[in-house]
Structure 1
Amino acid sequence: MLTLHNKLNRYTKIPHTISSFTYSTLKFSSQSQPHSIIDVNTLTKIINDHPFPDQPLNPTLLNHLPPLSAATTTTTTTTTTNTNTIFPSFAENVLGRLFASHSNGLKALEFFKFSLHHQQHFPLSHDALEKTLHILARMRYFDRAWELLREIAKTQPQLLTLKAMSIILSKIAKYQSFEDTLEAFRRMEEDVFVGREFGTDEFNVLVKAFCSQRQMKEAKSVFRKMVSRFNPNIKTMNILLLGFKESGDVTSVELFYHEMVRRGFSPDSVTYNIRIDAYCKKNCFGDGLRLLEEMEGRNFAPTIQTITTLIHGAGLVRNVGKAWQLFNEIPLRNLVADTGAYNALISSLVRSRDIESALSLMEKIIENQIELDGVTYHTLFSGLIRTKGIEGVNELYQKMTHRNFVPKTRTVVMLMKYFCQNSRLDLGLSLWNYLVEKGYCPHAHALDLLVTGLCSRGMVQEAFECSKQMLLRGRHMSSAAFLMLERFLLKARDMDKLKDLEQMTKNLKSVLPPSIEHTTGISFSTVIN
């Protein structure tokens, strides 16, 4: 499963680098201080735990990352010594962890600017910029994002990429108006990518911004309005086709497919993958298999994504036998099963309520040294909730934490809700503390569930401590959670804690944009591989 935004990246091949989150370790030494070691996890936790906005982050960074020190970088595979710089991926790995841990965007920006200021010692990549922009845009810090883009355009223009443009335009399309998105595209051309002649690639980014938000009316409007200026290519067509597919209307997909053929575009393997996915998601598995045959008949070799889509489609129609057959055919097609393929088969087994086989397959993934991901755990937890109950969920939860795996936000929220509804607040607190110890700042919706559960059972002190951890890390509580905790603190006449809560909230309001002060929503929409 991938988000639509990521799937558009994969289908359209907009150039970008996917950073592997290697756990780089930095060892600093100087004549005046002993050796000290810091790794990505530790630095991420230091940044997340830093009190915001009471103290600036820069002195803390200088303390832990002295730029005048000689630096030796050690990774899990190689050791590189350089007296001037550290491993280039260190900054982008830290920013990646800050993004995954829902850190306050202004902290991430301060770390990026620290690295930018000391770039002779802490080199930055375009991936680091993209992650910073993603963090800022997700929290709707658009003014800060534009300021950063203008600064980079003047000082480090080589860091600007189409992906950086895509991140900003997609979020503006999501949170602002159609006209705002077109104005942002104009600003990109005139103020950021100065001297670059915009062509089809940039046009594709704009179209993708609307398609990634399922705004197909706007996407078609942009296409008609600008097609005379930019010559569309097959990528443009596939972006639009994928957008129609995500609207959930197979008829629209087929209508647009025939339109692109009439326009003279020949379908490619990406086109077929999108159409197959559209039919599978509508439980038209037979049509998906028909398109596979047509695809092969036109000498387009199916990719591992094609087979993964069909395995999942077989699961949707409860045809586990066909799912196994497709999976077993993977090596016969000279393909290699990846995590996504295993996840699709696990999903098929879970849908048929064969949870034991799904758990056995998870162990096989581990034996084959294939990395489990957030989808693996989320699918299995969903199945265990329906079949094994709290004991089965707890058993997998203990295994997950023992492996030091941190689940995605939607899984955290699902588990927190399940633990609280089943009166296992001990597990809810355990999950919260596990995330905090790992350097993560849990999502506000997880706090809502935990505070509600704790307060309803008289555990107001614990609810206050969790809320305080959230606020000190620079993230707002929702208004609902704040009001509930406020009511229980008033009832307990604990005015000191209430004053602390109000003061921390007031401090955040002075620096965070009003539009996100009490954000509680979370998107559970996913795209099946």
Structure 2
Amino acid sequence: MSVRGNPKNFDNVDDALILFNEMIDKYPRPSVVEFNKLLGTIVRMKHYAIVVSMYTQIELLGVPHDVYSFNILVNCYCQLGHIDFGFSVLGKMLKLGVEPHVVTLSTLINGLCKQGKISHATSLFDEMVDKGYQPNLIFYSTILNEDRGFEPNIVTYNTFIDSLCKKGSLNEALHLFSQAKVKGIRPFIVTYSCLIHAMYDLGQQEEATRLLNEMVDNNISLQGREGF
């Protein structure tokens, strides 16, 4: 199997291991970009521990990391439930002057959510926004993507909706609100209250009234405080 082989054509992890051994024996060694392609394929096979081990070997051989290899490592640690190691990778990135981007941080947020550490996740989100990361629909879909093994509930949605509303990101908050309803997650009074207050603050009285009427039509109790 050639080093130039296409990792996407692999049927199993054994083929990937053969190519990896060829790559580390080759001189000069392939760049981290080539290793990233191979290890990204192994990640899609969900062999996260193998990927972590491979990157350790690559590092010992003197192949420098880039932001994409760091992102792969962060994802593997989060998938393995080692969120603390994921944050250690983030610390290493910063120490080496490698700027993390939204994928790095949203992966950590997702990992925190999977462990039920919602308050930590929203704190990291707030820190991201304060540092200039712009909230957008793709980013929040990443946070709450069930395909990554995290199934959000109403508490999760309420937490992020409240944080978005306080940041003035009403459109993104409404996107999450719609997403929750599509997934069959029933909003509580807390959910509606966050959105209605944000609408009034932005001078959107008609939209706030419409949402209030929707809440009443759905028999959402004004006395309920569930959801946080």
Quote the residue 2:7 is aligned against. Answer: 207
* Structure 1 residues 50-99: Cα deviation after superposition (integer angstroms, max 9, x where no partner): xxxxxxxxxxxxxxxxxxxxxxxxxxxxxxxxxxxxxxxxxxxxxxxxxx
Say if 2:25 is the partner of 1:238: no
Quote the residue 2:18 is aligned against. Answer: 221
* Alpha-carbon distance in structure 2 between the residues aligned to 1:306 and 1:316: 16
Provide closer, same or farther for how the CA distance between residues 311 and 380 of structure 1 changes in structure 2, counting only shifts above 3 A. Answer: farther
| Maintained 8 Å contact 1:288/1:310 | yes
In the alignment, which of 104, 113, 130 is matched to residue 306 of structure 1? 104
- Shift in Å at residue 309 of structure 1? 0.4
- Unaligned runs of 5+ residues in structure 1 are 1-181, 186-199, 390-529
* Alpha-carbon distance in structure 1 between the residues aligned to 2:53 and 2:156: 39
- Shift in Å at residue 350 of structure 1? 5.8
Provide closer, same or farther for how the CA distance between residues 231 and 370 of structure 1 changes in structure 2, counting only shifts above 3 A. Answer: farther
Residue identity matched to 1:279: Y
The count of corresponding residues between Structure 1 and Structure 2 is 180
* Alpha-carbon distance in structure 1 between the residues aligned to 2:103 and 2:53: 24
In the alignment, which of 330, 351, 354 is matched to residue 152 of structure 2? 351
In the superposition, the TM-score normalised over structure 2's length comes to 0.61
- Unaligned runs of 5+ residues in structure 2 are 188-228
Partner SS state of residue 119, structure 2:
helix
Equivalent residue runs for 1:281-430 within 5 Å: 281-346=79-144, 351-354=152-155, 357=158, 360=161, 367-368=170-171, 377=179, 381-382=182-183, 384=184, 387-388=185-186
Equivalent residue runs for 1:450-465 within 5 Å: none
- Shift in Å at residue 314 of structure 1? 0.8
Quote the residue 1:452 is aligned against. Answer: none
Instruction: Write 1 or 2 for the structure with the bigger share of strand.
Output: 1
| Maintained 8 Å contact 2:137/2:172 | no
Residue identity matched to 1:285: I
Quote the residue 1:254 is aligned against. Answer: 52
* Alpha-carbon distance in structure 2 between the residues aligned to 1:314 and 1:246: 21
| Maintained 8 Å contact 1:320/1:352 | no
Residue identity matched to 2:135: A
* Alpha-carbon distance in structure 2 between the residues aligned to 1:347 and 1:369: 15
* Alpha-carbon distance in structure 2 between the residues aligned to 1:357 and 1:380: 12
In the alignment, which of 260, 275, 281 is matched to residue 73 of structure 2? 275
Provide closer, same or farther for how the CA distance between residues 353 and 367 of structure 1 changes in structure 2, counting only shifts above 3 A. Answer: closer
RMSD, aligned CA: 4.1
In the superposition, the TM-score normalised over structure 1's length comes to 0.29
- Shift in Å at residue 380 of structure 1? 5.7
| Maintained 8 Å contact 1:279/1:285 | yes
- Work out the percentage of aligned pairs sharing the same amino acid: 18
Partner SS state of residue 140, structure 2:
helix
Partner SS state of residue 329, structure 1:
helix
For the pair shown, the structure with the greater C-alpha radius of gyration is 1
* Alpha-carbon distance in structure 2 between the residues aligned to 1:271 and 1:344: 19
Equivalent residue runs for 1:482-501 within 5 Å: none
Provide closer, same or farther for how the CA distance between residues 339 and 357 of structure 1 changes in structure 2, counting only shifts above 3 A. Answer: same
Bigger RCO (CA 8 Å, 6+ sep)? 1
Residue identity matched to 2:71: N
Residue identity matched to 1:338: N
